[in-house]
Amino acid sequence: MAGTVSNLNSSQDHESAAAGARNAVETKSLTRRYGSLVAVDRLNFACPQGSIFGLLGPNGAGKSTLIKMLTTLLPPSEGTAYVAGYDIVRDPRSVRRKIGYVSQMLSADGDLTGHENLSISAKLYGVPRSERAARISHALEFMELAHVANKLVKHYSGGMIRRLEIAQSMLHRPSVLFLDEPTVGLDPVAKQAVWQNVRDLREELGTTILMTTHDMQEADGLCETVAFMHTGQLAAIGSPAELRSALGPDASLGDVFIHYTGATISEGGDFRDAARIRSTSKRLG
């Protein structure tokens, strides 16, 4: 299919690029295979600009593979996607310039201060030297970390670490921010703080946020649109209210999850999944 994409005529290219520009993220029959295993199966969906979009599903549904393709960490086997108007297959470098990504893995250095971490990130993201000090100062204020800017990150709380990592990803003012389970392992107070920061980012910068989560309360409270993945395909997509009402007046988003994926929220995957999540939770809090 990569050959097919490269052979599209110019009018088709223009039409597809225009469609991609109307949405922050738009997939076109996006597929990823590992041998005979189809991890993501001909996925088609659109994430509107300026929205908060939640991607939900049990472990093994294909969420991580999808995010890796959209962030250009993994090439698709077939199809393509447009992120911030750029084709992930044809122009991955432009995609990378327009996105931020916060994974579950620790990205902040505990032996450095918050300010030092942000300074390194500013250099890595190519923030002009003349703008670095102002952007770092603003990021620290925005994420309510100015009072601990010169404190070693290893002494931060879990919620503070997560807010610092989001600040790192936003220094270059990306059009699209990908968050992989942004509040895993955090206590309720820290979760609320991160949720508010996510809302504020969208309001202040117009950033589109695409996030994965297993927290139904988080998805219900933050996301205008949620998509449920199951066995590499989209099982359902819509606003949380629409999806709940389709099942009945008393349905919760957890009920929607179970209905469309056939899984329970507490399944938690296999031993490797449990070890990964517990390791992250320990690190955060």
**37-74 pLDDT per residue, tens:** 999 999 999 999 999 999 999 988 999 999 999 999 99
Of the listed ranges 5-14, 90-99, 209-218, the least confidently predicted one is 5-14
pLDDT category at 281 given cuts 50, 70, 90 is low
Distance, in Å, from the CA atom of 205 to the CA atom of 170, rounded to the nearest integer, reads 10
Q: Which domain CATH number covers 40?
A: 3.40.50.300
Q: Is residue 7 part of a domain?
A: no
**pLDDT on residue 14:** 44
Based on the structure, what is the number of domains in the chain? Answer: 1
List all residues 6 or more positions away from 160 whose beta carbon is below 8 Å from its beta carbon: 145, 148
Distance, in Å, from the CA atom of 71 to the CA atom of 100, rounded to the nearest integer, reads 9
Tell how strand 225-230 and strand 233-238 pair up: antiparallel
**pLDDT on residue 23:** 93
Q: Is residue 15 part of a domain?
A: no
Which tops the pLDDT comparison, 189 or 55?
Answer: 55
Averaged pLDDT for residues 151-162: 93
Are 238 and 272 spatial neighbours (Cβ–Cβ below 8 Å)?
no
Domain span including residue 192: 21-284
pTM of the entire predicted model: 0.83
Q: By percentage, how much of the chain surpasses pLDDT 90?
A: 70
Q: Is residue 11 part of a domain?
A: no
Angle at the Cα of 31 from the Cα atoms of 271 and 77, rounded to 5 degrees? 100
